[in-house]
């Protein structure tokens, strides 16, 4: 059945709209369908814009163009994956969703603690490095003064 609704490009606003309207599975399915269409169009456009083999073009320019087209297709695929993840979350019961949120909160707290620990270690290393640099700097200054004193006329 062909829809008479206008097509939307799948973008971050569409993904956030879909996540805010997760209760309405039809909206997410429509976003997913639009995302598949956008991905297919991006892939078609990427292939269409590839430089022809016989065309005189700078190799670096050709590589940049291909990289740009590939990035566009990859970005569309990532956005589509996010929409699929939203659909998966609709299948979970409220209890499962709460459990997943608790698990994610635990992971976040673990990462925060790891980050604090790493920061603390880095600060300790920085203090040690500063002390060593100060010591080396003082030793070099004393050596320079000793050299100046020994070479000064009597």
Percent pLDDT > 70 in the chain is 74
CA distance 105 to 111: 10
Exposed / middle / buried, residue 104 (Cβ in 10 Å: 0-12, 13-18, 19+): exposed
The winner for highest mean pLDDT among 33-37, 57-61, 111-115 is: 111-115
Q: Which tokens belong to 31?
A: 């976003």
Tell me what pLDDT residue 11 has: 43
Tell me what pLDDT residue 119 has: 92
Neighbour tally for 113: CB within 10 Å: 10
pLDDT tens-digit readout, 47-69: 777 666 655 667 777 777 778 77
Question: 93 to each of 28, 53, 84, 103, how far by Cα in Å?
Answer: 17, 54, 17, 15
List CB contacts of 35: < 8 A, sequence separation 6 or more.
10, 14, 76, 79, 80, 83
Q: Which tokens belong to 76?
A: 């569309």
CA distance 35 to 87: 13
CA distance 39 to 72: 9
């Amino acid at each position: 059945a062909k829809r008479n609704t206008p097509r939307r490009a799948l973008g971050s606003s569409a993904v956030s709209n879909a996540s805010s309207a997760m209760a309405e599975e039809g909206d997410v399915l429509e976003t997913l369908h639009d995302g598949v269409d956008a991905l297919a169009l991006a892939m078609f456009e990427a292939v269409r814009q590839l430089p022809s083999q016989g065309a005189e073009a700078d190799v670096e320019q050709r590589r940049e163009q291909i990289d740009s087209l590939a990035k566009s297709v990859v970005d569309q695929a990532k956005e589509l994956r996010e929409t699929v993840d939203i659909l998966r979350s609709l299948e979970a019961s409220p209890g499962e969703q709460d459990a997943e949120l608790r698990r994610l909160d635990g992971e976040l707290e673990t990462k925060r603690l790891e980050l604090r620990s790493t920061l603390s270690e880095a600060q300790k290393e920085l203090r040690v490095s500063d002390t060593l640099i100060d010591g080396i700097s003082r030793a070099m200054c004393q050596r320079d003064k000793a050299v100046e004193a020994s070479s000064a006329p009597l």
